[in-house]
Structure 1
Amino acid sequence: MSKTHRKISVTGEEMVIEINKDIDRYQESVAMGLTVKQLIFSVASVVCGGGIVLLLYRYIGLTGSAYIAIPVVAPIALGGFYTYNEMSFFDVMQRKIHMMFGNQALSYVSTEGEMVLKAYELAFANTSRVPSIKYKGKQLKTGTVSVNTTIGNQNNKEAFEAVKRKMKVMIIGCIVAIILAIAGTFAYKYLG
């Protein structure tokens, strides 16, 4: 982190004080350069990982127990160290899961009246520029605008649904891979 030097004169002597340039990102370290949050999550991940390895070591060996401990320890460690736009790892994952399963696709619904749209389409079909149209005392602006908004909205909705399906398949694939890794570890230990 870069620092700026501030010179302060006290009774004729100069004193140099180092101040962080980006004071918003300053973190107070507690132990070994870690913040309180990072220290707590580090200890929790080491305790969980060590506990899993010690409990499963007798049954499936060191390698197998380490493979099982990693998916448990990784989210705990990320919870203390990972930040994105000042959100913690758990906040980011909660938003991603909400976007995959709980989010509805947004679509545009026109608030203009049917008469205005028909007049606009007729005028647009005749010329490349739309003349001003009066409707209930309001005057619409002139300009060139695409009338096929429903097709664009349909494409956006389809693209959103495709990305949503792809994300679901990726998460399900990761879960299946973890389950297969655990099953393979047990099979290797007991059948091999």
Structure 2
Amino acid sequence: MSVEINRDIDKFQESVVLGLTAKQLIDSVLSVLVGGAIVLISYKKVGLTVSAYIAIPVVAPIALSGFYSFNGMSFMQMMKKRIHFMFKVKPLIYRSTENVSELKDVALEMEAEKKKTEIGTEGKSTGTETDKKDSFEKSKKKMIKVLILSTAVVIAAIGIACGCKFL
């Protein structure tokens, strides 16, 4: 009799049914049930193809939460991190200091900032840093507008498809 043992114990998964773990089984059954319910509810109004397209964005995150993992994180943990980094993390600004003249310039700027703070005036960041922050904020606002617009377009397309079926 031979018993197979995984070389990496951390990657061992105990299967419940058909080689699926309990989490994978629950999420796959849940995604099939939710997708089937959406298709059955919207089938008579918009047709089979459109109802399947409506169900996919709802079912995909449910199915991915059971099967997808990245660097040891589940799908939901990864999406929370991604959303956090998209909206709440400030950009890092790299400033090259590869030659002696640039090092001297940086040292002079630091001395000037120290003098400003000693006098009592508030030290402000250089124009390039504020430009980068402003461009980051502009691109962030633009991304939010694009997300809202694309969501509105999808909702409008679904509404038009439903409206066409009623005519």
| TM-score between the two structures when normalised by the length of structure 1 | 0.60
Runs of 4+ that moved beyond 6 A: none
Offset of residue 73 of structure 1: 0.9
Please show how residues 10-89 of structure 1 align to structure 2 within 5 Å: 17-89=3-75
Question: Tell me, what secondary structure is at the counterpart of 2:47?
Answer: helix
- Take 2:39 and 2:164, find their aligned partners in 1: how far apart are those partners? 17
Once the two structures are superposed, what CA deviation does each residue of 1:25-83 show, in whole Å capped at 9, x if it has no partner?
22222112211111111011101011111122222222222122111111111111122
- Which residue does the alignment assign to 2:90? 105
- Take 2:8 and 2:136, find their aligned partners in 1: how far apart are those partners? 38
Structure 1 unmatched ranges of 5 or more: 1-14, 109-127, 131-142
Greater RCO (CA < 8 Å, at least 6 residues apart): 2
Q: Which has the higher helix share?
A: 2
- Which residue does the alignment assign to 2:141? 165
Larger radius of gyration: 1
- Which residue does the alignment assign to 1:144? 103
**8 Å CA contact retained: 2:27, 2:62:** yes
| TM-score between the two structures when normalised by the length of structure 2 | 0.68
Q: How many residues align?
A: 145
Structure 2 unmatched ranges of 5 or more: 94-98, 110-124
Q: Which has the higher strand share?
A: 1
- Take 1:159 and 1:27, find their aligned partners in 2: how far apart are those partners? 46
Share of identical aligned residues, percent? Answer: 49
AA matched with 1:92: M
**8 Å CA contact retained: 1:41, 1:76:** yes
AA matched with 1:57: Y
